[in-house]
Structures are given as structure tokens and as C-alpha cells.
Structure 1
Amino acid sequence: MKKNSLGILSVLVLIWCSCSNHREEQKTVSGLERKNFQSIVKGKETDLFTLKNASGMEICITNYGGRIVSIMVPDRDGKLQDVVLGFDNIQEYVVKPSSFGATVGRFANRIAYGKFPLDGDTVSLGLNNGNHTIHGGAEGWQNQVFDAEQVADSLLLLRYVSKDGEAGFPGEVHVEVSFRLEDDHTLKIDYLAKTDKKTVINMTNHSFFNLSGGPKNAILDHVLLVNADAYTPLNGELITTGDIENVASTAFDFTNPISVEAALQRDSLHPQLQLAQGFDHNYVLRDTRSPEVPAARVYSPRTGILLDVYTTEPGLQVYTGNMLDGSRQGKGGIFYHKYAGLCLEPQHYPDSPNKPNWPSTILEPGNTYTSSSIYRFGLKE
């Protein structure tokens, strides 16, 4: 009898192990496989984490760069669609650095010539965008491995310690980013950071959205509204000039919904569009920003999927994927061409440390940097 009991126990253990392995190897709703994101990068473990809600929505995030890899939301027919660009394995993110889906820091967007004044001194950063620094430099947080804690099926916490002098920035900064998926198809991202020395910080998420049901379809037909009366123009090196210009009667006016293509065609020879080869500009959001007023709204006529973006930030970078050139092969074997994705990046204004009249990005010891962004998905009525 004892022998039979041991035999039964052995069979049960084998079944449990088989089921456990099967669960581990199961694909996500988006088709991503967790094992393809499990690696060692810079001496730390990377992984893929899945958020789910009661409504069937799914978001996959890797702790490498705090990146959103996929977001599955239902279209007007109830079919789940992946609405962000990304890759199906960790190596594509590591070997070819990019900002796809990333948590960007310490400083989102460009800092002119990689320098800025701080308390009478000049801080010098590593250059990674010609003569300038973009998205925190080559050591920016999109290229770092965060410590991850999945608190619940719908909540992921990512933490990172940025050492004093990393990429040239002063101060040891402790950062926490939380991703919370609500049952109403809302993703809320909260950023928190503290420093032991005076520094600057400007965080955002750099997801490329495509609500059309597949990035083979360009985002040109996406209809966009931006709650802003002004934007910050660029010089010939894509650095903000320090001016703030009204959008009225220009290609940059998204105060009423208009398709990206129609906006581009409205004034295709506008010098700013020529410089950036499309939209790649920071919008100065209206003071009426609130939890009830979106900073931006975009929807796809193909799928009916609607995205509202809310933020506590004063600016929003609108980027139409102008630099995508078809050389990167993403999920599903699809190559990402120009206009394959639309970025809506809540932020402080680009190069703010060199623009003292703009909202400050300085973080002092003893203070806490906080920022919140909400991405609410739905269907256009």
C-alpha cells in the first residue's frame, strides 16, 4: 500500500510539474512568450510581466527600460488589438538601443549640447544625438534594468537607483514607477523620484501607439486632438528655440480633431514640419488640465479605438514616427516604416534646464518628484 501511495504521489508531482511548465511557456494574449524576455543584462535579470483586468484587457511590460511591450484592447467588434509598437524578444531591445515603449529618464527629450547650468556650475552630459543629449544619454533609464515587483494582477512596481554621475547627471536618484491597469481600460503610470543632490528630472513613457489593428497601417488616418493653444518651435538641430508660438491657423493646430494626414497637408511646406520631417514637437498644455480634461485624444476610424491621455505635466510631445525607416522588424514580423506609430509623451518642455523662464525641472534633496499620466482606452461613439 505504501508503494502504491509513493507511485501515485510521483505521478501527481509529474503532472504538477508538467502543468507548471506549461503555464510558464504559455503565450500572452498578444502572442508574446515570457521566456523570450528572460535574460541577464548588465548583471541583472530581465523578464516579462503581464497586467490583466476583469474586462479582458492585457498589458505586457519588461523591466528592461521599464518598457511597455504590448497593450491589448478591444475594437468596435470586440476583437482584441495590440495598439503599441515593440519587439517579441529582449535582444531586439538590447542590441539595437531605442525608445520603444520605454520609461525615459533622467531627462526626457533633448538637452542642448549636453550642458546646462546648475548653482553656478555647468553640468556636462554624454552626447548621444549629434551634438546633443536625448532621453538621458546613452546611459538613460530606457537602457537600464529596473527591479520589478508584481504586486497584483493589475499592478506592477519598477524601481531603479541611478548613481551620482550616471550619464553626467548629479545626485543619486531613487526612482519608482507604478503601472496600474483599471477595469475601465485605463492604464495609470505614476512616477516618483528622490535625490541626495540637486539635479534635474523629467520622466515620461515613450510608447508608439497605432490604434488601427496593425502597424502595417500608417497612423496618418488617426484623428488627433491636443488640448493646447501653443507649441515650442525648434531650431535647425531640433532644439527648442525658447519661443512659444500660437498654433492658430497653422499646421500645428489640433484644438479641433483632425487627421494627422490632413494636418500635415494643411501646410506641408511649414519650416517646422520640414525640419522634423513631420510632427516632433512639444505642446504647451492649457491650464485647464484636470482629471476630466484630456491633454490629448486620438482615435482610429478603422477600429473605432479611442485613446484619451491625461497628465499632471505641463507639456506633451507629439511625434509621428518620422524617423522610422523600415529597418526595424517588430512583433509579428512587421517592419516599422515612417508614420507606423504616434507618440504622445507627457513631459516638461525640452531643454528646460537651459530655459529659466520655463517650468522648472530641478529636484532638490528632501523634495519628491511626482508625475502621473493616464491612458484611457475606449470606443468612439
Structure 2
Amino acid sequence: MKKQSVFFVLITLFICSKAISQSNLNNSECAPLNPENFNKMIDGKQVSLFLLKNGNLTAAITNYGGRIVSLCAPDKNGQTADVVLGFKSIEDYLKATGVYHGAIVGRVIGRIAKGTFELDGKTQSLTINSGANHQHGGLKGFHNQVWDVKTVTDSSLVLSYISVDGEMGYPGTLIVEARYQLTSNNELTLKLLATTDKTTIVNLSNHAFFNLSGEGNGPILGHILTIPSNYFCAVNPDKIKTGEILKAAGTPFDFRKGKPIGKDIILENANEQLKIAGGYDQSYVLKKKKSNKIVLAATVVDPKSGRKLEVLTNNLGVHFFSANFFKGNDIGKMGKPLHFRESFALETQDYNSSNQKSFPTLLLKPGEKYETYTVYHFSSIK
């Protein structure tokens, strides 16, 4: 009888331990993504989902637009959550009202007035997809293209795309490469490379939306944001850069000492730039001249979870967007609506504009190499 009692005790402990283990898995706020839901042919090219892991981070990336679908990071207690907004299937991406989630945007991120710019004394005309203007590379920009898969490892993915001469109106055939890497230092890194056979303009970025509490877990207005810059670019009512660089000091745009995102956003009816953008939707100046030097672009801390995100880049600037126009129409991969100001974007990019001669140039010439580098470094605070 004693042996039987010991046996039953051991069995009970085993079942309980499995139940606890399963409970911990269920408590994880990282959606189990099925790669089969991304298995689709688009424009004659194969779309797939790639699952990466290294240390405490896991990521899911699709070659449809080079999108970061998922990025799971631990909080101060080791509890993981998916901190990037995304969808559970390629069909959800195709029907979403928000079309840039997690995507690589190009050839030029941002808006170009009336879809025109001057190049070698000639006016170049781009496709129009935002009122009377060109935005984020056009309707069939890089976000809506199927990228070729060059290499895949457990922790890295290299994608490439050839943008042919005249695509969306841009001159020159641009050969682009995107290198995603999860490092053992709790980082997701992204290197974007490009070459051209004709002089063209290029300004690439990734457009991931973050919520450090986890996708669908409420507003980000309590997140503490630090941007180490006293200068940001003014925009006109079309949200196109005017060429004027304003001082952030003494305005709602001053994040140098760190403050909750929502602290001054309530002044949107009193501050012209906040009112124009419906919140934050402006570029900050990090450097005045192009160089390969990596600088800190921004730091974000979620006091609730303790998650901390540092964004570093060799770009000239970073664009901060407070998700001002989400209306809950799209349902994310966690099964929750994606609501107004429940995420933020920090788009590392050159702050310059193709039509502002006072800004550093966006030109890329044959024989030159375009190269940007961004690091998303995760840690936690108690």
C-alpha cells in the first residue's frame, strides 16, 4: 500500500507540474502563429512566414512587405508579450484598413507634395495615393511587394527586392536588401541596403507599431518616451515637411528628459503642429550630416510591465507617430481591436524631404551604396 501511495503522489505531482507548465504557456501573451496562414501566392510569388528565436526574444517575419508580424519580449517578471501589432494571417493583412503594419516602406517613406520632385532639372512624377500627394512609396510600394528570400537561419532572415525603373514613377532600377537579425543581447537589428543604376531618391524605414504592454493591451499614453533631440521638422496641413526646423524646448514636442506620451498630447487643440497631425506625427533631427555613427534615437519604458525599448540608428532622424487614426476596425493577432493611440511608431529615417533643398539630399547615384542600420534593444526595469 505504501508503494501505491508513493506512486499516486508522484503521478499527482507530475500532472500538477504539467498543468502549471501549461498554465504558464497560456499566460504568455504571444499568439501562436500558424505559418500555413501565410502560405499564399501573390503576384506569382510565394509568401511565407519565418519564425526566429535567440535568447529571450522571438520574432515572426513575412516576406510580404518584409513585415515584422510578431516580436515577443519578456517583462520585469519574465512574462512574455507580443509588443508589435500584427495579424494572424496574410488574408488579414490584405484586408486591413491599416496597410503599413510592420512593413518596410519605400522607396521613400513619408509624403511627397503633389507626387513630384526635381531631378537633374527635370520634374519627376510619382503615383498619387494620398489625396493629391504621394505617400510611403505609392500604392504598390515596398510594403505591398513580395520580397525574395535569400537566406534563413534560426535567428536571422535576409530578404531582397528589385524595384524596376519607373516603378511608382521612381527612376532607376533599385536593388534592395533587408537583413533581420535577433541577437543574444536581446536585440532585433535591421540593416537596409540599396544600389541603383540611375540617380534616384531613397529613404527606407520599417513601420512597426509597438505597445510595450502587449498588442491590444490598452493605450500607450502612460509609456515614458525619451527622444534626445531639441529639433523637429514642421509640417503643413497635408503633413508634408515645410523645410522649417523648430526647437522642441518649451513645446509639447520636448521629450529630452523623458515624459509620458500622453502628458502634453492633450494640448493638440492649442498647439498648431499637434493639431495638424492629430497628435504626434513629426520627424526629429538626430544628426545634421550623414555618417555611419550609431546614435540613440529614442527610449520607451512601460511602467506597468517594466519593459524598456531603446531604438538606435545611423539615420539622420526618427519619426514619432502616436497612432492617431486607428479606429478599432482591424482585429490584431491577439483577437483584440487595434484602437486609437494604443500603439506608437518610431520610424528611423533621414528627416529630409525630396523637395527641401535646405535639407540633406535623398539622392542615390550609381556606384553609391545606401545603408541604414536600426537596433531595437529590449530590457526591463523594476
- The count of aligned residue pairs is 352
| Contact map agreement 2:295 2:314 (CA 8 A) in 1 | no
Question: Residue type of the partner of 1:142?
Answer: H
The residue number in structure 1 matching 2:167 is: 166
Q: Which runs of 4+ in 1 moved over 3 A?
A: 265-268, 286-293
Change (3 A) 1:187 1:291: farther
Superposition map of 1:192-203 within 5 A: 192-203=193-204
The residue number in structure 2 matching 1:376 is: 377
Structure 1 distance, partners of 2:30, 2:321, is 28
Q: What displacement does 1:337 show? A: 1.1
1:206 aligns with 2:207: yes
The residue number in structure 2 matching 1:4 is: none
CA deviation map 1:281-337 (0-9, x unaligned): 011115699877411000101110000000111111000000111111111211111
The residue number in structure 1 matching 2:62 is: 62
Q: CA RMSD in A?
A: 1.8
Q: What displacement does 1:213 show? A: 2.7
The residue number in structure 2 matching 1:138 is: 139
The residue number in structure 2 matching 1:317 is: 319
Q: Counterpart of 2:242 in 1: which secondary structure?
A: coil
Structure 1: tracts of 5 or more residues without a match: 1-27
Question: Residue type of the partner of 1:93?
Answer: Y
Structure 2: tracts of 5 or more residues without a match: 1-28
Q: Counterpart of 1:323 in 2: which secondary structure?
A: coil
Change (3 A) 1:368 1:290: closer
CA deviation map 1:77-104 (0-9, x unaligned): 1011100101000012123460000011
Q: So what's the TM-score if we normalise by structure 1?
A: 0.89
The residue number in structure 2 matching 1:117 is: 118
1:294 aligns with 2:289: no
Q: What displacement does 1:215 show? A: 2.0
The residue number in structure 2 matching 1:180 is: 181
The residue number in structure 2 matching 1:20 is: none
| Contact map agreement 1:49 1:150 (CA 8 A) in 2 | no
The residue number in structure 2 matching 1:74 is: 74
Q: Counterpart of 1:219 in 2: which secondary structure?
A: coil
1:257 aligns with 2:293: no
Q: After alignment, is 267-276 or 338-347 more displaced?
A: 267-276
Q: What displacement does 1:264 show? A: 1.2
The residue number in structure 2 matching 1:343 is: 345
Q: So what's the TM-score if we normalise by structure 2?
A: 0.89
Question: Residue type of the partner of 1:278?
Answer: G
CA deviation map 1:203-259 (0-9, x unaligned): 000000000134231111110000111101111111111100000000000001100
The percent identity for this pair of structures is: 40
Q: Counterpart of 1:158 in 2: which secondary structure?
A: strand
The residue number in structure 1 matching 2:150 is: 149
| Contact map agreement 1:29 1:58 (CA 8 A) in 2 | no
Structure 1 distance, partners of 2:218, 2:30, is 21
Question: Residue type of the partner of 2:88?
Answer: D
The residue number in structure 2 matching 1:44 is: 45
Structure 2 distance, partners of 1:268, 1:145, is 41
CA deviation map 1:41-92 (0-9, x unaligned): 1110000001111x23101000000000000000111011100101000012
| Contact map agreement 2:268 2:279 (CA 8 A) in 1 | no
Q: What displacement does 1:267 show? A: 6.3
Structure 2 distance, partners of 1:47, 1:152, is 14
Structure 2 distance, partners of 1:129, 1:302, is 37
| Contact map agreement 2:180 2:191 (CA 8 A) in 1 | yes
The residue number in structure 2 matching 1:359 is: 360
Question: Residue type of the partner of 1:270?
Answer: N
Q: What displacement does 1:272 show? A: 1.1
Q: Counterpart of 2:334 in 1: which secondary structure?
A: helix
Change (3 A) 1:287 1:255: farther
| Contact map agreement 2:297 2:311 (CA 8 A) in 1 | yes
Structure 2 distance, partners of 1:290, 1:228, is 18
Question: Residue type of the partner of 2:304?
Answer: R
